[in-house]
Each structure stands twice: as C-alpha cells, then as structure tokens.
Amino acid sequence: MRSVLFLCVKNSARSQMAEGLGRVIFGDGVRVQSAGSEPSHVSPWAIQVCREIGVDLGGQSSKFVGTIDPDSVDTVIRLCAEEVCPATLSGKQHYYLPIDDPASDDPDVDPEEMRARFRRARDEIKEQLTSLAAILDRSETSA
C-alpha cells in the first residue's frame, strides 16, 4: 500500500487538513499521515472548515515527525517552506505544495476573517491534492 506523509511545522492546520482531505481524495489504497517538527494541537478552525465539506478531522492528533516510521512512508509532501525534512526521510519521493498559513495570533483578526482564511487554505489544499492524486496514480501504474 502506498503511503503519504504531510509535513508542516506545527502539524496543526495545513497538514491536518491535508491528512483529512488526502484520505478522501486518495482513497483506501493510500495510507495518509501527517506530522510536524514542533507539533501542537489540531486547530479548531481546521476541524470546523473541513467539517463543512464532510471531512472529519476529529480522530486526528498533532504528531512529532520523529515518531513516524520512515519505512511507513513512500511520499513526503511539505506544505510550508519552514519545515525541514528529517534525514531518515531523504530517500523518499518529495513534493512541495506551498500553502499560506491560515492561522494568526493577531487579536484583530475577527472570526469571519479567520474562517475565510482557513477555507481558502482548505480549498487550495483540496485542489492541489486532486492534481497530485493524478500524478501519483500515473507513477503507480508506470512502476
């Protein structure tokens, strides 16, 4: 079974949304995981905006990339430039999907703006993963 790992620093928003969306888009034939170098928690905003489109992040948790078994990963997908991929994953297939961080610590960002930012990130991740699924399917059939 093919396996994809989504990486982002805090494993809170982008990589969590990618994990949930990846399960839907890639289907049962792909094992999907996410992790980060400074894991924190799954963002309530990510949970909320994914729930809007029927994707449940409720069972997901924020994980440290060092706890991921390198042998369980075929493809690494980085969602932010800051994320450094551990040497144990250097021999894997890599993709970089730059997605702006929707989270903000600015107290002046109102809830509607925050929701809109997370929706934009969710939709961009969904679009990029849909395109990537076609690439992964082609590479799987040509292998």
Please identify every residue annotated as catalytic: 8, 80, 85
Q: Report how far apart, in Å, the C-alpha atoms of 56 and of each of 47, 49, 92 are.
A: 7, 10, 28
One-letter amino acid of 24: V
List b or e across 63-82, with b for residues whose CB sees 16 or more CB atoms inside 10 angstroms. Answer: bebeebeeeebbbbbbbbee
Task: Give the integer Cα–Cα distance in Å for 96 and 65.
Answer: 16
Task: Give the integer Cα–Cα distance in Å for 92 and 69.
Answer: 12
Q: Report how far apart, in Å, the C-alpha atoms of 82 and of each of 10, 44, 108 are.
A: 10, 22, 25
Task: Give the integer Cα–Cα distance in Å for 115 and 105.
Answer: 14
